[in-house]
Amino acid sequence: MKKLFFALFGVALVLLSSCSDRFNSNDPGRLVVKITDAPFPFDMIDSAAVTITKIEIRRAGDGLPDSIPPFEVIFEDTVILNLVDLRNGVSKKLADVEIPSGKYDLVRLYVAEAMLKLTDGDSYSVKVPSGKQTGIKIFIEPALEVEGGLTEELLLDFDLSKSFVLRGNPLHNNGFIFKPVIRAVNASTAGRIAGMVTDTAKVKIKSPIVWVKQDTVVATTVGDTLGHYAIIGLPAGTYSIFATKENYDTVSFAGVKITAGNLTIQNFVLTKK
Protein backbone atom coordinates (compact mmCIF):
# COMPACT_ATOMS: atom_id res chain seq x y z
CA MET A 1 0.00 0.00 0.00
CA LYS A 2 1.37 3.30 -1.06
CA LYS A 3 1.01 6.63 0.66
CA LEU A 4 1.23 9.82 -1.27
CA PHE A 5 3.08 11.58 1.49
CA PHE A 6 0.46 14.04 1.27
CA ALA A 7 0.40 15.01 4.79
CA LEU A 8 -0.05 17.81 2.75
CA PHE A 9 1.76 20.59 4.24
CA GLY A 10 4.73 21.00 6.11
CA VAL A 11 4.71 24.76 6.21
CA ALA A 12 7.86 26.29 7.48
CA LEU A 13 7.28 29.68 8.99
CA VAL A 14 10.10 31.88 10.08
CA LEU A 15 9.28 34.08 13.01
CA LEU A 16 10.82 35.99 15.86
CA SER A 17 10.77 37.22 19.64
CA SER A 18 8.92 36.69 22.91
CA CYS A 19 7.12 38.85 25.49
CA SER A 20 4.18 41.04 24.55
CA ASP A 21 6.18 44.21 25.17
CA ARG A 22 8.35 43.34 22.19
CA PHE A 23 5.45 44.10 19.89
CA ASN A 24 6.50 47.71 20.27
CA SER A 25 9.96 46.90 18.91
CA ASN A 26 11.03 48.73 15.79
CA ASP A 27 12.97 45.70 14.65
CA PRO A 28 10.81 43.20 12.77
CA GLY A 29 11.63 39.54 12.50
CA ARG A 30 11.46 37.42 9.38
CA LEU A 31 8.98 34.74 8.42
CA VAL A 32 9.54 32.05 5.79
CA VAL A 33 6.69 29.75 4.80
CA LYS A 34 7.34 26.37 3.22
CA ILE A 35 5.08 23.52 2.19
CA THR A 36 5.83 19.83 2.50
CA ASP A 37 3.79 16.72 2.00
CA ALA A 38 3.08 13.39 3.70
CA PRO A 39 1.58 10.06 2.60
CA PHE A 40 -1.82 9.02 1.38
CA PRO A 41 -2.54 5.28 1.41
CA PHE A 42 -3.56 4.55 -2.16
CA ASP A 43 -1.68 3.46 -5.27
CA MET A 44 -4.37 5.03 -7.42
CA ILE A 45 -3.58 8.72 -6.77
CA ASP A 46 -1.98 10.63 -9.65
CA SER A 47 -2.03 14.11 -8.13
CA ALA A 48 -3.29 15.98 -5.08
CA ALA A 49 -3.71 19.69 -5.66
CA VAL A 50 -4.62 22.24 -3.00
CA THR A 51 -5.43 25.89 -3.57
CA ILE A 52 -4.13 28.17 -0.83
CA THR A 53 -5.28 31.79 -0.77
CA LYS A 54 -4.09 33.19 2.55
CA ILE A 55 -2.09 32.41 5.69
CA GLU A 56 -2.40 34.34 8.96
CA ILE A 57 -0.52 33.96 12.23
CA ARG A 58 -1.86 35.04 15.64
CA ARG A 59 -0.02 36.98 18.30
CA ALA A 60 -0.05 35.23 21.67
CA GLY A 61 -0.79 36.63 25.10
CA ASP A 62 -3.38 38.78 26.82
CA GLY A 63 -3.33 42.52 27.19
CA LEU A 64 -2.31 43.46 23.67
CA PRO A 65 -3.15 47.07 22.80
CA ASP A 66 -6.38 47.52 20.83
CA SER A 67 -4.34 49.19 18.11
CA ILE A 68 -2.54 45.89 17.41
CA PRO A 69 -4.67 43.37 15.48
CA PRO A 70 -4.35 39.79 16.81
CA PHE A 71 -3.60 38.29 13.39
CA GLU A 72 -0.79 39.12 11.00
CA VAL A 73 -1.28 38.24 7.32
CA ILE A 74 1.88 36.51 6.09
CA PHE A 75 0.63 35.32 2.70
CA GLU A 76 -2.23 36.47 0.49
CA ASP A 77 -2.35 35.24 -3.07
CA THR A 78 -3.63 32.20 -4.96
CA VAL A 79 -1.25 29.29 -5.34
CA ILE A 80 -2.05 25.74 -6.43
CA LEU A 81 0.32 23.07 -5.14
CA ASN A 82 0.55 19.46 -6.25
CA LEU A 83 1.38 17.68 -3.04
CA VAL A 84 2.62 14.60 -4.86
CA ASP A 85 5.69 16.65 -5.80
CA LEU A 86 6.35 17.46 -2.12
CA ARG A 87 7.04 14.02 -0.70
CA ASN A 88 9.80 12.42 1.28
CA GLY A 89 11.34 15.43 2.99
CA VAL A 90 10.85 17.89 0.11
CA SER A 91 9.36 21.29 0.97
CA LYS A 92 8.44 24.41 -0.95
CA LYS A 93 8.83 27.97 0.26
CA LEU A 94 5.52 29.77 0.11
CA ALA A 95 6.37 33.12 1.69
CA ASP A 96 9.30 35.06 3.08
CA VAL A 97 8.17 38.16 4.97
CA GLU A 98 9.01 40.39 7.90
CA ILE A 99 6.62 40.33 10.85
CA PRO A 100 6.58 42.17 14.20
CA SER A 101 8.60 40.58 16.96
CA GLY A 102 6.69 38.71 19.66
CA LYS A 103 5.07 35.37 20.45
CA TYR A 104 2.77 33.59 17.99
CA ASP A 105 0.58 30.64 18.92
CA LEU A 106 -1.83 29.89 16.06
CA VAL A 107 -1.89 29.76 12.27
CA ARG A 108 -4.96 30.09 10.05
CA LEU A 109 -4.57 28.43 6.66
CA TYR A 110 -7.13 29.35 4.01
CA VAL A 111 -7.66 26.51 1.54
CA ALA A 112 -10.18 27.28 -1.19
CA GLU A 113 -10.21 23.84 -2.80
CA ALA A 114 -8.61 20.42 -2.76
CA MET A 115 -8.54 18.23 -5.86
CA LEU A 116 -7.58 14.58 -6.24
CA LYS A 117 -6.83 13.02 -9.61
CA LEU A 118 -6.67 9.25 -9.84
CA THR A 119 -4.40 7.25 -12.12
CA ASP A 120 -7.45 6.11 -14.10
CA GLY A 121 -8.19 9.74 -15.00
CA ASP A 122 -11.07 10.37 -12.57
CA SER A 123 -10.92 13.64 -10.61
CA TYR A 124 -12.57 14.61 -7.34
CA SER A 125 -13.10 18.15 -6.12
CA VAL A 126 -13.20 18.07 -2.33
CA LYS A 127 -14.94 20.80 -0.37
CA VAL A 128 -13.03 22.35 2.50
CA PRO A 129 -15.45 23.13 5.36
CA SER A 130 -14.68 26.64 6.67
CA GLY A 131 -11.25 26.46 5.04
CA LYS A 132 -12.08 29.24 2.60
CA GLN A 133 -14.07 31.54 4.90
CA THR A 134 -12.48 31.31 8.36
CA GLY A 135 -9.37 29.26 7.69
CA ILE A 136 -8.09 25.99 9.10
CA LYS A 137 -6.77 26.65 12.61
CA ILE A 138 -3.45 25.07 13.65
CA PHE A 139 -2.15 25.69 17.18
CA ILE A 140 1.59 26.19 17.68
CA GLU A 141 2.70 24.47 20.89
CA PRO A 142 4.82 25.80 22.42
CA ALA A 143 4.35 29.26 20.97
CA LEU A 144 7.00 30.57 18.59
CA GLU A 145 9.10 33.47 19.80
CA VAL A 146 10.09 35.90 17.08
CA GLU A 147 12.96 38.24 17.83
CA GLY A 148 13.98 41.31 15.88
CA GLY A 149 16.56 40.58 13.21
CA LEU A 150 16.31 36.80 13.66
CA THR A 151 14.54 34.03 11.79
CA GLU A 152 12.53 31.15 13.24
CA GLU A 153 10.94 28.36 11.26
CA LEU A 154 7.62 26.60 11.75
CA LEU A 155 6.74 23.45 9.83
CA LEU A 156 3.06 22.73 9.33
CA ASP A 157 2.70 19.08 8.44
CA PHE A 158 -0.72 18.53 6.91
CA ASP A 159 -1.24 14.77 7.16
CA LEU A 160 -3.47 13.88 4.26
CA SER A 161 -3.21 10.21 5.05
CA LYS A 162 -5.74 11.13 7.74
CA SER A 163 -7.20 14.27 6.19
CA PHE A 164 -8.60 12.81 2.97
CA VAL A 165 -11.06 10.12 3.98
CA LEU A 166 -12.32 7.74 1.29
CA ARG A 167 -16.10 7.42 1.21
CA GLY A 168 -17.17 3.82 0.69
CA ASN A 169 -14.33 1.48 -0.24
CA PRO A 170 -11.72 1.28 -3.02
CA LEU A 171 -14.04 -0.94 -5.08
CA HIS A 172 -17.01 1.41 -4.70
CA ASN A 173 -15.49 4.87 -4.48
CA ASN A 174 -18.02 7.53 -3.53
CA GLY A 175 -15.50 10.34 -3.37
CA PHE A 176 -13.58 11.82 -0.45
CA ILE A 177 -14.32 13.74 2.73
CA PHE A 178 -11.86 16.40 3.83
CA LYS A 179 -11.04 16.41 7.57
CA PRO A 180 -7.70 18.23 7.92
CA VAL A 181 -5.15 16.92 10.42
CA ILE A 182 -2.18 19.26 10.77
CA ARG A 183 0.73 19.43 13.20
CA ALA A 184 2.84 22.53 13.82
CA VAL A 185 6.54 22.17 14.64
CA ASN A 186 9.12 24.83 15.38
CA ALA A 187 11.70 23.82 12.77
CA SER A 188 14.52 25.56 14.63
CA THR A 189 14.11 23.02 17.46
CA ALA A 190 13.47 20.07 15.15
CA GLY A 191 15.55 17.53 13.30
CA ARG A 192 15.01 14.97 10.56
CA ILE A 193 15.51 11.29 9.94
CA ALA A 194 16.31 9.45 6.73
CA GLY A 195 17.63 6.15 5.48
CA MET A 196 17.28 3.20 3.12
CA VAL A 197 14.88 0.27 3.21
CA THR A 198 16.09 -2.98 1.64
CA ASP A 199 15.26 -6.67 1.89
CA THR A 200 17.54 -9.43 3.20
CA ALA A 201 19.05 -9.80 -0.29
CA LYS A 202 20.00 -6.09 -0.20
CA VAL A 203 17.41 -5.28 -2.87
CA LYS A 204 15.97 -1.78 -2.45
CA ILE A 205 12.27 -1.88 -1.59
CA LYS A 206 10.06 0.40 -3.67
CA SER A 207 7.81 2.82 -1.75
CA PRO A 208 8.23 1.48 1.81
CA ILE A 209 5.96 2.91 4.51
CA VAL A 210 7.86 4.48 7.41
CA TRP A 211 6.48 6.14 10.53
CA VAL A 212 7.71 7.51 13.85
CA LYS A 213 5.96 7.34 17.22
CA GLN A 214 6.22 8.62 20.73
CA ASP A 215 2.95 7.95 22.54
CA THR A 216 1.13 8.08 19.21
CA VAL A 217 2.13 8.26 15.56
CA VAL A 218 3.90 11.59 15.02
CA ALA A 219 4.60 11.49 11.29
CA THR A 220 4.52 9.06 8.38
CA THR A 221 6.09 8.94 4.95
CA VAL A 222 6.42 6.67 1.95
CA GLY A 223 9.87 6.12 0.50
CA ASP A 224 10.76 6.60 -3.14
CA THR A 225 11.18 3.97 -5.83
CA LEU A 226 14.76 3.32 -4.67
CA GLY A 227 13.84 2.65 -1.05
CA HIS A 228 14.99 5.99 0.33
CA TYR A 229 12.79 7.74 2.91
CA ALA A 230 12.98 11.01 4.83
CA ILE A 231 10.85 12.65 7.52
CA ILE A 232 11.46 16.30 8.37
CA GLY A 233 10.21 18.56 11.15
CA LEU A 234 10.54 16.13 14.07
CA PRO A 235 10.81 17.91 17.42
CA ALA A 236 14.01 16.97 19.23
CA GLY A 237 13.46 13.90 21.39
CA THR A 238 13.45 10.11 21.45
CA TYR A 239 11.22 8.11 19.14
CA SER A 240 10.37 4.63 17.96
CA ILE A 241 10.52 4.22 14.18
CA PHE A 242 8.86 1.57 12.03
CA ALA A 243 9.07 0.42 8.43
CA THR A 244 6.97 -2.04 6.45
CA LYS A 245 5.72 -2.96 3.01
CA GLU A 246 2.98 -5.25 1.79
CA ASN A 247 4.13 -8.90 2.01
CA TYR A 248 6.97 -7.94 4.37
CA ASP A 249 7.23 -8.02 8.17
CA THR A 250 7.30 -4.74 10.09
CA VAL A 251 10.70 -3.79 11.51
CA SER A 252 11.09 -1.26 14.34
CA PHE A 253 13.78 0.49 16.36
CA ALA A 254 13.21 2.02 19.79
CA GLY A 255 15.16 4.83 21.44
CA VAL A 256 16.01 6.65 18.20
CA LYS A 257 17.24 10.14 19.12
CA ILE A 258 16.37 13.19 17.02
CA THR A 259 18.56 16.25 17.61
CA ALA A 260 17.58 19.79 16.66
CA GLY A 261 19.16 20.89 13.40
CA ASN A 262 20.65 17.48 12.66
CA LEU A 263 20.02 14.45 10.47
CA THR A 264 19.61 10.99 12.01
CA ILE A 265 20.28 8.01 9.74
CA GLN A 266 18.28 4.83 10.30
CA ASN A 267 18.29 2.04 7.72
CA PHE A 268 15.91 -0.94 7.63
CA VAL A 269 16.17 -4.52 6.38
CA LEU A 270 12.76 -6.15 5.86
CA THR A 271 12.05 -9.86 5.72
CA LYS A 272 9.43 -11.30 3.37
CA LYS A 273 6.51 -13.05 5.01
The pLDDT tens digits for 36-57 are 554 454 466 788 888 999 999 9
Is residue 31 a part of any domain in this protein?
A: yes
Q: How far apart are CA 43 and CA 39, in angstroms?
A: 11
Same domain, 156 and 97: yes
The pLDDT tens digits for 106-147 are: 999 998 888 888 788 888 888 776 667 788 899 988 788 888
Same domain, 123 and 232: no
Is residue 237 a part of any domain in this protein?
A: yes
What is the pTM for the complete model shown?
Answer: 0.73
Residues 6+ apart with CB under 8 A from 153: 12, 13, 14, 15, 32, 34, 186, 187, 188
> Given pLDDT bands bounded at 50, 70 and 90, which one contains residue 17?
very low
Same domain, 109 and 37: yes
The residue out of 146, 171, 188 marking a domain boundary is 188
Same domain, 153 and 260: no
Q: Is the pLDDT of residue 161 over 50?
A: yes
Q: How far apart are CA 55 and CA 34, in angstroms?
A: 11
CB-based contact 154:13 (threshold 8 Å): yes
Is residue 13 a part of any domain in this protein?
A: no
Is residue 171 a part of any domain in this protein?
A: yes
The residue out of 188, 217, 249 marking a domain boundary is 188
Q: Is the pLDDT of residue 12 over 60?
A: no
Q: How far apart are CA 174 and CA 25, in angstroms?
A: 53
Same domain, 102 and 183: yes
Q: How far apart are CA 133 and CA 247, in angstroms?
A: 44
Q: Over the chain, what is the mean pLDDT?
A: 79
The residue out of 169, 188, 207 marking a domain boundary is 188
Q: Which has more confidence, 129 or 188?
A: 188
CATH number assigned to the domain comprising residue 230: 2.60.40.10
Same domain, 50 and 131: yes
Is residue 2 a part of any domain in this protein?
A: no
- pLDDT at 131 (0 to 100): 64
- Position 228, amino acid: H
- pLDDT at 66 (0 to 100): 67
Same domain, 81 and 124: yes
Work out the number of other CB atoms within 10 angstroms of the CB of residue 200. 10
CB-based contact 111:29 (threshold 8 Å): no
- pLDDT at 36 (0 to 100): 59
Residue 258: which domain range?
A: 190-270
Same domain, 170 and 223: no
Q: Is the pLDDT of residue 241 over 90?
A: yes
Q: Which has more confidence, 154 or 250?
A: 250
Is residue 166 a part of any domain in this protein?
A: yes
Is residue 159 a part of any domain in this protein?
A: yes
Same domain, 50 and 171: yes
E-assigned strands of 100-171? 102-118, 123-126, 136-146, 151-152, 154-158, 164-169
CB-based contact 165:176 (threshold 8 Å): yes
Q: How far apart are CA 39 and CA 56, in angstroms?
A: 25
Same domain, 89 and 184: yes
Same domain, 141 and 229: no
C-alpha distances out from residue 14 to 99, 149, 224, Å:
9, 11, 29
The count of domains in the chain is 2
Is residue 141 a part of any domain in this protein?
A: yes
Same domain, 138 and 211: no
CA 141 to chain centre: 15
> What share of the chain has pLDDT > 70, as a percent?
77
- pLDDT at 168 (0 to 100): 63
**Which has the closest alpha carbon to 193: 227, 229, 154, 238?**
229
The pLDDT tens digits for 79-97 are: 998 877 777 777 878 878 8
